[in-house]
């Protein structure tokens, strides 16, 4: 997801103007892909002389590169093609889930250059031991990038809960059992300084950013909902091409819609929440006895879900019934989300994506039966990114700071 550059208004000092113009060029290349200096100058409104000086500065920071001559057939000597480089610049995204922790690194071109995942029983470990493990994963990734001479622009950590953006505090994460954890501060304290800046964001919101950037934005989709199938159920909402947070960052807590007629208690403190019917724990509870290895938190979640999928394909009646029941309850709640938000696309993430070939058609059929009008039609698609969408979204969010201010990246030695 990108932010469209706004026309410059008012007076800017020379340094601010330079920073704004560098950002303008970088953002233009992110959208356009590449172009000659003359073409970029024309399309950005910058003079050729100004643009040439700024391109040299971006090259020195390894943010853009010049490739071979443009063979577009124009008159005269062809100019060199300028495009995003960024192989020496990366953002890092980190996901803390109740079952695992994952780390991804993405370069400026959007290429995934590092990925790691580890099973973590977060509820049993508690905040401090969990953050110790997460810090080790982050530290190894940053060290690996640094040794490869890749500048880490920033780190975005996600958690399944409500975020205080001002203080970097995880205010409430019911499925982790955490409340008022100053997560940014505690993670930062675990590293020697200087260290890349750490930011905090909600998991579903980051996943929505990654999924939107994976192709929907290029298709012209402007309204999308990402529905996370984890222990908790959250939604990342894109409206008019922009991520929606709400006034306090609370938007998307759809898992707590009161849709469970049995009124079972929820970790949030309410009763009868939707995630009690369709959350990961609800699926596993329906699909297997507590003693079944499918519940073992020491195994990677994706491996356990793959095994569950294999059982369903093999005709396991209990697993098939569990998936059918979840799909029915999923479509019922989704119809409310669709009626309220009117998205063009709903992306099913988390375990919904892994079981997508078994769930998609029942979910689509259930939504179709509740459609009031063609205006409430919606495309339901599985995640393109699988279980890594949140950590990838975190890496993309970290890189957004570079597109806002390229001067954050130091001049780097050539070679």
Res. 315 pLDDT band, cuts 50 70 90: very high
Whether the per-residue pLDDT at 3 is higher than 50: the answer is: no
All CATH 1.10.10.10 domain ranges in the chain, comma separated: 14-84
Neighbours of 189 (CB within 10 A): 11
The pLDDT tens digits of the residues spanning 156-172 come to: 999 999 999 999 999 99
All CATH 3.30.420.40 domain ranges in the chain, comma separated: 89-205+391-408, 221-387
**Residue carrying the six token digits 């073409």:** 39
Is domain 221-387 given the CATH code 3.30.420.40 in the classification? Answer: yes
Residue 71 is predicted with a pLDDT of 58
Cα separation of 17 and 174, whole Å? 45
Question: Which region among 8-22, 80-94, 136-150, 401-415 has the lowest average model confidence (pLDDT)?
Answer: 8-22
Res. 380 pLDDT band, cuts 50 70 90: very high
Res. 7 pLDDT band, cuts 50 70 90: very low
The pLDDT tens digits of the residues spanning 343-354 come to: 999 999 999 999
Whether the per-residue pLDDT at 289 is higher than 80: the answer is: yes
CATH class of 14-84: mainly alpha
Whether the per-residue pLDDT at 4 is higher than 80: the answer is: no
How many helices (H) and strands (E) the chain has is answered by: 14, 16
Give the Å distances, CA to CA, from 87 to 71, 105, 111, 395.
25, 11, 9, 14
Residue 337 is predicted with a pLDDT of 96
Q: Interhelix angle for 48-60 vs 14-32, to 10°?
A: 80
Residue 25 is predicted with a pLDDT of 95
Residue 273 is predicted with a pLDDT of 94
Range list of β-strands (E), 194-285: 198-202, 224-229, 233-239, 242-244
Res. 5 pLDDT band, cuts 50 70 90: very low
Cα separation of 205 and 226, whole Å? 8
CATH class of 89-205+391-408: alpha beta
Query: Can you say whether residue 315 is alpha, beta or left, with left for phi > 0 and alpha for psi between -120 and 50 degrees?
Result: left
Residue 74 is predicted with a pLDDT of 54
Mean residue pLDDT across the chain: 91
């Amino acid at each position: 997801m990108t932010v469209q550059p706004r026309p410059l208004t008012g007076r800017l000092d020379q340094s601010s103007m330079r920073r704004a113009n560098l950002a303008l060029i970088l953002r233009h290349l992110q959208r356009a892909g590449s172009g000659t200096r003359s073409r970029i100058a024309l399309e950005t409104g910058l003079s050729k002389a100004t643009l040439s000086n700024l391109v040299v500065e971006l090259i020195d920071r390894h943010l853009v590169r010049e490739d071979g001559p443009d063979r577009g057939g124009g008159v005269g000597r062809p100019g060199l093609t300028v495009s995003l480089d960024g192989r020496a610049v990366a953002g890092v995204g980190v996901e803390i889930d109740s079952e695992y922790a994952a780390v991804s690194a993405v370069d400026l071109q959007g290429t995934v250059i590092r990925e790691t995942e580890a099973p973590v029983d977060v509820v049993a470990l508690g905040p401090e031991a969990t953050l110790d493990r997460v810090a080790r994963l982050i530290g190894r990734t940053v060290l690996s990038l640094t040794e490869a001479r890749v500048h880490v622009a920033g780190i975005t950590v996600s958690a399944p809960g409500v975020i205080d953006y001002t203080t970097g505090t995880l205010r409430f994460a019911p499925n982790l059992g955490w409340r008022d954890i100053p997560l940014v501060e505690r993670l930062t304290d675990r590293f020697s300084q200087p260290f890349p800046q750490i930011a905090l964001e909600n998991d579903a919101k980051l996943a929505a950013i990654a999924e939107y950037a994976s192709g929907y934005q290029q298709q012209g989709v402007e309204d999308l909902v990402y529905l996370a199938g984890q222990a908790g159920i959250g939604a990342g909402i894109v409206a008019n091409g922009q991520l929606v947070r709400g006034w306090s960052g609370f938007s998307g807590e759809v898992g707590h819609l009161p849709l469970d007629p049995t009124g079972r208690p929820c970790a949030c403190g309410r009763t009868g929440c939707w995630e009690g019917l369709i959350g990961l724990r609800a699926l596993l509870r329906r699909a297997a006895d507590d003693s079944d290895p499918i519940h073992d938190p020491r195994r990677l979640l994706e491996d356990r879900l793959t095994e569950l999928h294999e059982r369903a394909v093999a005709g396991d009646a209990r697993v098939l019934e569990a998936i059918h029941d979840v799909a029915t309850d999923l479509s019922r709640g989704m119809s409310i989300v669709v009626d309220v938000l009117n998205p063009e696309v709903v992306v099913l993430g988390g375990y919904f994506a892994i079981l997508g070939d078994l769930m998609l058609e029942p979910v689509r059929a259930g939504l179709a039966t509740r459609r009031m009008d063609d205006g409430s039609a919606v495309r339901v698609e599985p995640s393109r990114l699988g279980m890594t969408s949140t950590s990838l979204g975190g890496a993309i969010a970290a890189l957004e700071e570079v597109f806002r201010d390229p001067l954050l990246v130091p001049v780097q030695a050539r070679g």
